[in-house]
């Protein structure tokens, strides 16, 4: 039996680690990988015992981009029928927090995949970029849109129009990366952060993610109204009662996600 292109591990309580596993192809995102990622994230989202997810590759590549060999000969209709845009939306819509642990290359679709996550932890030698223009296409998995929202028009234009690669420190400085750590510490740090989040109130964590994502393209007034409704709903939860009681009683809370 062939080795799966996506592996799922459980490195800590409440944490699922989803690993892209095509080392011979620098973890290029073919259709099989994309569908497997959708399934792995959906399974983690449905599992009551999983509260945070780490998405990673290997030490050489997070994902070096789309699988060019798979798509080179495709026509417009064939490309449309592949439905990769729907798969991207399914990945980005995971309701639980997803942390990208990026080592090595995160290029093209790999950079776009990292941007669908909520937090990006990068190794010092990680390399990012949207080099699609160099092969006659444009970023098609959110690169022209998520990148602009993350770093601003002028940085995004430079990255997409030149196709130049850039390092983890530059990515951090422009706001694309949450944290830069030593290369050997990337996965460990991502799991540590996921475990930290997994120990917090699950309903509050999910509401934070939902409100941040829904509010970023709304007016400030509309986004604040979303936030207000979300915090009001929290007061119907057992976790809110438990969290505040634990604070008053100076003990560690036991959150149940209810």
pLDDT tens readout for residues 68-112: 776 777 778 877 877 778 888 888 889 999 999 999 999 999 999
Q: Structural domain tally of the chain?
A: 2
**Which residue is catalytic, options 14, 65, 108, 109?**
109
Asked if residue 235 and residue 145 are part of one domain, the reply reads: no
Q: Work out the mean pLDDT of the chain and round it to a whole number.
A: 93
DSSP, res 14: T
**Which residue is catalytic, options 112, 122, 168, 171?**
112
Q: Is 122 a catalytic residue?
A: no
So what's the pLDDT on residue 1?
Answer: 62
**What CATH number corresponds to the domain at position 244?**
1.10.12.10
Q: How does pLDDT run across 128-169, given as a tens digit for each residue? A: 999 999 999 899 889 999 999 999 999 999 999 999 999 999
Asked if residue 54 and residue 32 are part of one domain, the reply reads: yes
pLDDT above 90 covers a percentage of the chain that reads: 81
Q: How does pLDDT run across 24-65, given as a tens digit for each residue? A: 999 999 899 999 999 999 999 999 999 999 999 999 999 988
Asked whether 19 and 57 are in contact (CB, 8 A), the reply is: yes
Asked if residue 114 and residue 54 are part of one domain, the reply reads: yes
Q: Is 78 a catalytic residue?
A: no
Asked if residue 242 and residue 191 are part of one domain, the reply reads: no
Asked if residue 206 and residue 92 are part of one domain, the reply reads: no
In a domain, 255, yes or no: no
Asked if residue 80 and residue 35 are part of one domain, the reply reads: yes
So what's the pLDDT on residue 126?
Answer: 97
Asked if residue 231 and residue 123 are part of one domain, the reply reads: no
**Which residue is catalytic, options 126, 132, 198, 230?**
132
So what's the pLDDT on residue 228?
Answer: 95
Asked if residue 208 and residue 245 are part of one domain, the reply reads: yes
Phi/psi of residue 175, each to 5°? 95, 10
Distance CA 34, CA 85 (A): 10
| Structure confidence at residue 253 as a pLDDT band (50, 70, 90) | very high
Asked if residue 216 and residue 169 are part of one domain, the reply reads: no
Closest CA to 112 of 85, 76, 84, 139: 139
Structural domain span for residue 79? 6-198
Instruction: Between 175 and 78, name the one with better pLDDT.
Output: 175
Can you give the pTM of this predicted structure? 0.93
Asked if residue 111 and residue 75 are part of one domain, the reply reads: yes
């Amino acid at each position: 039996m062939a080795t799966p292109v996506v592996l799922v591990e459980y490195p800590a309580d409440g944490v699922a680690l989803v690993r892209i596993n095509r080392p011979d192809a620098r973890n290029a995102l073919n259709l099989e990988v994309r569908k497997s990622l959708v399934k792995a994230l959906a399974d983690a989202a449905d599992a009551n015992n999983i509260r945070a997810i780490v998405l990673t590759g290997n030490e050489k590549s997070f994902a070096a981009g789309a699988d060019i060999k798979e798509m080179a000969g495709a026509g417009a209709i064939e490309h449309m029928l592949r439905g990769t845009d729907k798969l991207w939306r399914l990945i980005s819509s995971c309701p639980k927090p997803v942390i990208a642990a990026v080592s090595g290359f995160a290029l093209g679709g790999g950079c776009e995949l990292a941007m669908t996550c909520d937090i990006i932890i990068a190794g010092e030698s990680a390399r990012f970029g949207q080099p699609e223009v160099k092969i006659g296409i444009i970023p098609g998995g959110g690169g022209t849109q998520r990148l602009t929202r993350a770093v601003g028009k002028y940085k995004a234009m430079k990255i997409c129009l030149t196709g130049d690669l850039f390092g983890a420190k530059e990515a951090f400085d422009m706001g694309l990366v949450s944290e830069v750590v030593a290369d050997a510490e990337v996965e460990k740090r991502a799991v540590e952060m996921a475990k930290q989040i997994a120990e917090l109130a699950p309903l509050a964590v999910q509401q934070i993610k939902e409100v941040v994502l829904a509010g970023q393209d709304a007016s400030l007034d509309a986004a604040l109204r979303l936030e207000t409704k979300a915090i009001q709903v929290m007061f119907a939860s057992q976790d809110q009662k438990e969290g505040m009681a634990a604070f008053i009683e100076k003990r560690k809370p036991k959150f149940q996600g209810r």
